[in-house]
Chains A and B, each alone.
Chain A
Amino acid sequence: MGLTDKGLHPTIFDDYRIETVDAGWLQERVKPKRHIGLTAELCILCRACEDVCPWECIWMLAPNIVADAESDEVMTLANTASAVFVIDDNECTRCAICVERCPSDALWLGRTSA
């Protein structure tokens, strides 16, 4: 049962802290072995993925939602970015509708490289 099935909508936060999670941890803790990925260079910020997602789990947000990051480099990236994409992996069912919908092939569904 996803949130949207219950008639709920996701809460949007603006106090994100970016942390690195190692691939091994993901392998162990997350059941689906494939995750949605986004190639930033190809993205045209059309928000079609956000539009089609049945679970409302992928969002394009303003970069100022990033309150902090574990390294200054990442913080700089966040400060200079045009947009930040966030996905709720618990809600995501890997249906890959967003991948189909993406007009510039920026989204993909694949394994995290360990």
Chain B
Amino acid sequence: MADDPGIDQETFDKLVAEGQPERVARAKAKAAAARKARAADASAGNGGGSTGDGGGETPEQVQERVFNELVEEGQPERVARAKAKAAAARAKRAAESESKPEPAKQPAGAGAGAGAAPAAATTGNGANGAGNGAGVALTPEQRQQRVAAALAARTEGGPHERTGGPETKYAGQEHTHRLLAMVPPTGIQQIRGKQDDKAYTWPHLLTAEFVCLMAVTAFLFVFSALAPAPLRELANPNVTPNPSKAPWYFLGLQEMLRYWHPMIAGVTIPLIFGPLGLIAIPYLDRNPSMRPERRKFAYMLFTMFLVASASLTISGSFFRGPGFNWTWPWTDGIWFTL
């Protein structure tokens, strides 16, 4: 690693004397020092590129220097930061390409100057690292370099330093075999039936249905034996029972009849919420998701419908007495027969 150019003391003193804050002065002095160093480099015939050729600078130093220069030029800080980052990346790439045993043709835009002594690349050799899905499309040249690097089996830095012994093997050396699989213990204990896309109605479905039939029949037998369901007296057309209530599943409708005109309560609303609403569902609910947490609107709508119909039915069943007038079940009793 070449030494840090440090700061240009002269510039620093001058700026401090001018009353600049120390931070700014230090930054500018550092930039000045870097400029001087580069000028010296150039006069020595090293021909540093505009971005610095990794002439002993780490990418971090390059980034800092470029940033300071640009800020000095009056660029906005955001732009300067972006450009500095790009410069650092370029420098890093240049350093990598220099540390290769046989530098191949650089891809355009690598911006590597005529390398002086190869910089000790502090890169965590992404050169022969694993293809870790970083999504970088390598040019053929770069890939060749990678292979070359792998073959050279460099032992400094990077993930290859984890090994204890010097007899570490690398791709392309003595023996390379491909790891097919590591079989986990769970894999062996798995028992799988043959995949079959056919299941016959008999016995698979019909046995289950038969069992259900038996169970329901048994339940009905027991229930009808235990629960009394007496017939009431003979109907008398001259005497209407009071309250005259529909079966429980119509009591919501009957409740609505208390509030609106029969045309509205008995026809329009049931029509809207019944056939028309059901037909409209696929046109209104365009949400493709099947997960409850992503179908908030649909769930909300149906919950509201459910709560409304349930509360209408409950109030029609238990809170309506003679003349279908409002009663409190705990004072007037329950006017409800199933």
Contact = CB atoms under 8 A, between A and B. Distances in A.
A29 interface: yes
A101 B157 CA distance: 44
Given A17-B163, A24-B138, A82 B180 contact: no
Interface in B139-173: 140, 143, 146-147, 159-160, 162-165, 167-171
Contacts of B175: 11, 13
Nearest to A44: B188
Contacts of A28: 140, 143
A5 interface: no
B190 interface: yes
B171 A19 contact: yes
Interface in A56-101: 58, 63, 67-68, 70-71, 77-78, 80-89
A84 B183 CA distance: 6
Contacts of A63: 182
- Classify the secondary structure of A's interface with B: mixed
Given A13-B175, A82-B188, A89-B177, A70 B130 contact: yes
Contact of A87 (B138, B169, B178): B178
B147 A42 contact: no
Contact of A23 (B131, B165, B179, B192): B131
A48 interface: no
Nearest to A36: B180
Contacts of B163: 17, 67-68
Interface residues of A, number: 44
B182 A81 contact: yes
A19 B130 contact: yes
Nearest to B177: A86
A22 B164 CA distance: 25
Contact of A40 (B147, B160, B164, B182): B182
Max chain B CB contacts within 10 Å: which of A35, A43, A58? A43
A36 to B, nearest CB: 7
B147 to A, nearest CB: 7
Chain B interface residue number, banded: 20 to 34
A18 B264 CA distance: 76
Contacts of A19: 130, 170-171
Nearest to A84: B182
Interface in A2-24: 11, 13, 15-24
B180 A81 contact: no
B6 to A, nearest CB: 39
A44 to B, nearest CB: 6
Nearest to A41: B187
A85 B184 contact: no
Contact of B181 (A21, A22, A38): A38
A113 B160 CA distance: 25
Contact of B185 (A18, A82, A88): A82
Contacts of A16: 169, 177, 179
A68 B169 CA distance: 10
B130 A39 contact: no
A25 B132 contact: no
A87 B186 CA distance: 22
B183 A40 contact: yes
A97 B147 CA distance: 31
B130 A20 contact: yes
Contacts of B162: 68, 70
B190 A41 contact: yes
A43 B167 contact: no
B183 A43 contact: yes
Given A19-B171, A25-B147, A84 B184 contact: no
Interface of A: 11, 13, 15-25, 28-29, 35-45, 58, 63, 67-68, 70-71, 77-78, 80-89
Shortest 3 CB-CB distances between A and B: which pairs? A22-B131, A20-B130, A85-B180
8 contacts: A15-B169, A17-B170, A36-B180, A58-B180, A68-B162, A70-B159, A84-B182, A87-B180
Given A16-B169, A86-B178, 15 more contacts: A16-B179, A17-B170, A19-B170, A20-B131, A22-B131, A35-B178, A37-B181, A40-B181, A41-B187, A41-B190, A43-B183, A70-B130, A81-B184, A84-B179, A89-B178
